[in-house]
Amino acid sequence: MPTLSPQQPTPDPGETHRHRDVAESFGEDAARYDRARPRYPQALIRRIARSAPGSDVLDVGCGTGIAARQFTAEGCRVRGLDADARMAEVARVNGLEVEVGRFEDWDPAGRSFDAVVAGQTWHWIDPAGGASRAAQILRPHGTLALFWNAGEPPAAVKDAFADVFRRAAPDSLALRGTSGSAVDGYGLICDKAADGIRGSGAFAEPERWREDWEFTYTKDAWLDQLPTTGAFPRLNARERAEVLAGIGEAIDAVGGRFTMHYATLAVVARRID
pLDDT at 179: 65
Q: How far is CA 257 from the centre of its chain?
A: 23
Nearest to 160, CA basis, from 260, 249, 225: 249
Q: pTM of the full predicted structure?
A: 0.89
Provide the residue-wise pLDDT of the chain in tens; the chain has 273 residues.
333 333 334 444 444 444 445 555 565 789 999 999 999 999 999 999 999 999 999 999 999 999 999 999 999 999 999 999 999 999 999 999 999 999 999 999 999 999 999 999 999 999 999 999 999 999 999 999 999 999 999 999 999 999 999 999 888 766 665 667 899 999 999 999 999 999 999 999 999 999 999 999 999 999 999 999 877 878 899 999 999 999 999 999 999 999 999 999 999 999 997
Give the DSSP per-residue string, 96-148.
Answer: -EEEES-TTT---TT--EEEEEEES-GGGS-HHHHHHHHHHHEEEEEEEEEEE
With H, G, I as helix, E, B as strand and everything else as coil, classify residue 247: helix
Q: What are phi and psi of 103, to 5 degrees?
A: -55, -40
Measured at the alpha carbon of residue 235, what is the angle toward residues 233 and 236, in degrees to the nearest 5?
A: 115
